[in-house]
Amino acid sequence: MNVQATDMLRSLLETSERERAALRRTLDDVLGFQRLAETVGASKDVSSLAQALAATLGHVVPWVAATVRLGDGTGPSRELFAQGMVPAASESFRELEEDAVLRWAAESLRPARIPPMEGADGRGWIVVPLVVQGRAVGLVGLIPSVPADDLTEHQMEMLRLIAAQAAAALDNLGHIEELRGNWDELQGLYGIARLLGSSLDVDGLFRIANQAIHERWAPKAVAMEFLGGAPRRFSSGAPWEDCAPLLSLGSGEASIQVIGQNLSHGAELAGLDARVAIVVPLSSAERRHGALLVAHSDEGFAGDGPDVLQWFDAVAKLLSAALENARLYEELLAANRRMAQLQERMILSGRLAGIGQLAGGIAHEINNPLQVILGRVQILQMRCEGSENVHADLKRVESETMRIAQIVRGMQEFARQEADDAAERRPVPLSGVIDAVLDLVGFRLRRHRIEVVREGSDASVAVLGNVDELKQMVLNLCQNAIQAMPGGGTLSVQLARRDDQAVLEIRDTGPGIPAEDIDRVFDPFFTRHPGGIGMGLAIGYSVAQRHGGTIHAVPGLVGGATLRVVLPLCDPSGKTDSGNDRRR
């Protein structure tokens, strides 16, 4: 009886002890979950949560080394927490990753015992996948303080449950960090967009983009080519000539080009002290604006993930839109300038037409009595050969009458409208016209010690016109230059082809044209030369206008004057290559 009671009591005590141990274990599990839940609620970043996860797992399975990583095991993972990872342990974990053991453990979705490996103190590894909705988003690697085979199934199950609870929180925090990073990225792009939108100057747009790129990526060199109108090129960190070969490699492509070191491009990259470069096309609305080059010393710069190329793609779109606005603004300014010039020419043409009609009528009425006066004066000179005083007075009257006749002839030339085009207009090489005029004024040039500099003698630079009128125009311009240099100087005559126009420039080294006279030099009867009648440039302007071109004085010169004639070219058949509305 006593023996049976003792055995029963012992049995009850053992059962009670087992139940108490189970209850203690359950309580520990509950406390562990509670601690983890509190940590999850208080964690603001994945690193602190990973540290709390490792500590909680340590209450279930004491460990000597631990690492918590994000990744599904198929590629390099992102380490969130590590402790006790001595070189031997790190090398052992790296071998598990290379041998796809971690991938197998992650795909199993359950904690796995990895046999002992060299450098892990003979205890082996415990790999615990972090599972969210049936997929592994990371894993925990533990080197337990006891052999892995000694762990119970209950411990393994507790590892799974704790890891599952933490995995959802880690995944959420990861998404929050990603959203926060995307928000910061968007804020940065918004700042760039705001700065680009505030400028309509191409130079300023490059400075803004260059500063943003340097602040974000610290490149070795940045270069940009803008093809709006005349090509414009910019560079920072290296001369443009060193950037141009790499920029040309991807400037014609539709997508971002990554240029790495190889036998073809190593020398160009070395010249920029870089190891990789990207070329970003700049285009908008089916219009190609150019390209952007960014060279970097880090070989992995363009391979750090899609975020790098996506950032440059976003900046390229913003920059392209800003360049399009700058191009449209420049075209608007050019159109306004052309309209203002056209308006000025229309006003001048109207004024000249009115003056021309008046001058023609006056010249017609004056010419007949003027010829009678001149004839009578010459008769009186013959009759008064013996009287020197009277003869001198009559000579003075004759001289002034001849001067009046010269003015009348100028008025008649100015008043003359378009002649018979079919009879008089033909292709005229301007080089021949210039040669004829310079030969005609050769004596005056030598007498005034004026040196002639001739540039351009292409016989194909021809215009459709009246050769006599064109000679009169060039002669008047040369005489105007000669009058500006009575004490000697240099007369430069330059003829060039510019697109579909002939451009003739006649420059002198005289005192120049005052700024207040620039808009008046082609007005009839306006002159600053003593003894001049102010009709030479007015007649020249009229001739150029009748030939579909124009003449203008080049402003802003420090010394001397330059008169530029722009006329439409013609082909050998006699057709002009440009309309009458083309001006420069």
Residues 475-491: tens digit of each pLDDT = 888 988 888 888 889 99
pLDDT for residue 582: 37
pLDDT for residue 25: 57
Q: Which of 64-68, 211-215, 329-333 is predicted least confidently? A: 329-333
Q: At which residue do the structure tokens 């490996």 appear?
A: 117
Retrieve residue 470's tokens: 């064109």
In a domain, 187, yes or no: no
Q: What is the mean pLDDT of the chain?
A: 78
pLDDT category of residue 440 using cuts at 50, 70 and 90: confident
Residues 566 and 313: their CA atoms lie apart, in Å, by 44
Residues 521 and 534: their CA atoms lie apart, in Å, by 8
Mean pLDDT over 164-178 rounds to: 71
In a domain, 89, yes or no: yes
Domain boundary among 178, 198, 221: 178
Q: At which residue do the structure tokens 């997508």 appear?
A: 255
Residues 273 and 220: their CA atoms lie apart, in Å, by 7
Residues 57-75: tens digit of each pLDDT = 888 888 999 999 887 666 6
User: For the sheet containing 561-568, what is the strand order?
Assistant: 450-455, 489-498, 501-508, 561-568, 550-553
In a domain, 212, yes or no: no
Looking up residue 558, the CATH number of its domain turns out to be 3.30.565.10
pLDDT category of residue 581 using cuts at 50, 70 and 90: very low
pLDDT category of residue 412 using cuts at 50, 70 and 90: low
DSSP string, 406-422: HHHHHHHHHH-----HH
pLDDT category of residue 348 using cuts at 50, 70 and 90: low
In a domain, 432, yes or no: yes
Residues 211 and 100: their CA atoms lie apart, in Å, by 44
pLDDT category of residue 222 using cuts at 50, 70 and 90: very high
Whether the predicted pLDDT of 420 surpasses 50: no
pLDDT category of residue 16 using cuts at 50, 70 and 90: low
pLDDT for residue 24: 60
Retrieve residue 188's tokens: 């940065």
pLDDT for residue 451: 92
pLDDT category of residue 293 using cuts at 50, 70 and 90: very high
Q: Which of 459-463, 562-566, 572-576 is predicted least confidently? A: 572-576
Q: Report the predicted TM-score, pTM, of the whole model to 2 decimal places.
A: 0.46
pLDDT for residue 3: 63
pLDDT for residue 350: 67
User: What does each C-alpha distance from 229 to 241, 319, 323, 567 come to in angstroms?
Assistant: 21, 17, 12, 22
Backbone φ and ψ of 140, nearest 5°:
-120, 130
**Helix 467-483 / helix 536-546 crossing angle, nearest 10 deg:** 150
In a domain, 425, yes or no: yes
pLDDT for residue 14: 63
Query: Containing domain of residue 94, as a range?
Result: 2-178
Residues 228 and 226: their CA atoms lie apart, in Å, by 6
Looking up residue 172, the CATH number of its domain turns out to be 3.30.450.40
Residues 299 and 86: their CA atoms lie apart, in Å, by 29
Whether the predicted pLDDT of 553 surpasses 80: yes
Q: Report the domain count for the chain.
A: 2
> Which letter, b or e, does each residue of 466-475 get, where b requires 16 or more Cβ atoms within 10 Å of its Cβ?
bbebbbbbbb
Residues 523-547: tens digit of each pLDDT = 776 776 765 667 778 888 888 888 8
Q: At which residue do the structure tokens 């053992």 appear?
A: 14
pLDDT for residue 338: 80
In a domain, 390, yes or no: no
Residues 101-150: tens digit of each pLDDT = 888 888 888 898 888 765 445 678 899 888 887 888 888 999 998 887 78
Whether the predicted pLDDT of 332 surpasses 70: yes
In a domain, 290, yes or no: no
pLDDT for residue 120: 46
Mean pLDDT over 20-38 rounds to: 55
Mean pLDDT over 194-209 rounds to: 87
In a domain, 21, yes or no: yes
